[in-house]
Structure 1
């Protein structure tokens, strides 16, 4: 056999070392003979796409930048529903789609955290998925917005009473 032609039964030493290291890293997770390709959904434009970091006062402005970016990258199902594919296939093997989903979710969670001020990061350490962090942020800021609306309505009512008394 020509030494320049690779023999699939006898891979070159570098390929063997790589395959062994790769297999050792995932030995605890048996995967069927499937090639799993996970692309970074953030590789194109997320680093510079947000001009506002989330703080205690700008949730709506921050959200108005985050949602179109997430939707544009096709990650809205992960962020808004949190519905992961089944972990295991019918035959008991690990579902490659689940692995890909978890990786995308963790990249999304990391990206969300990187778009926040340090003060806001302290609010999220216990959340381990992008969806749980998103729901917690929406709940926190929705209640703040409702309280602010009630405060403004009260102030407006007071102003209207004063105007009525003056007239």
Structure 2
């Protein structure tokens, strides 16, 4: 067994997209977020990260496609899925590396960038909405006293 085959077997699905039979070529580059996510800067991290992620075209295509028609139709691996999966894994790595260790550790079971994004948003979004409501109440109370 060759060294690369041993490495591939040891790392399993991390090296190739599930059911991929083609080599993926990634054409979209996503720059890393400018700040590391910590417990106090979610809104800044989100604001700086979202434009880059939105432009990355990370909508998952179908894993398989049907080629041919009628009785000759066969289901085959979708080459666009392999390309998407590779790009998604790069973005996943960028997201995880832009987080403090304690936050990234909570993302261990997430396997796609979208899953990480949703989990982080769920973790910090409610907290930030509560902070926004509190600040609004403070502003309203200041207006009443002046």
TM-score class, shorter: 0.5 to 0.7
TM-score by length of 2: 0.68
**For 1:84-128, what per-residue CA distance to the aligned partner results, in whole angstroms no more than 9, with x for missing partners?**
211112122211111111111111111110111112112211211
Is 1:123 matched up with 2:95? Answer: no
1:154 to partner: Cα distance: 4.3
Structure scoring higher RCO (CA < 8 A, sep ≥ 6) equals 2
What count of residue pairs does the alignment treat as equivalent?
Answer: 127
Tell me, in whole angstroms, the C-alpha distance in 1 between the residues paired with 2:20 and 2:129: 49
TM-score normalised by L of structure 1: 0.61
Q: Which runs of 5+ in 2 are unaligned?
A: 10-15, 67-73
The corresponding residue for 2:65 is 89
How many Å separate the matches in 2 of 1:92 and 1:65? Answer: 40
1:50 aligns to 2:26 (yes or no): no
Query: Taking structure 1 as reference, are residues 62 and 29 closer, same or farther at Cα in structure 2, changes over 3 Å only?
Result: closer
Q: Residues of 2 paired with 1:105 and 1:30: CA distance?
A: 14
RMSD between superposed Cα atoms in Å: 3.1
Relative to its length, the structure with more strand (as a share) is: 2
Q: Which has the larger radius of gyration?
A: 1
- Work out whether 1:39 is the aligned partner of 2:15: no
- Tell me if the contact between 1:86 and 1:98 (Cα under 8 Å) persists in the aligned partners: yes
Report the CA distance between 1:159 and its aligned residue: 5.4
For 1:129 and 1:145, locate their aligned partners in 2 and report how far apart those are by CA, in whole Å. Answer: 24
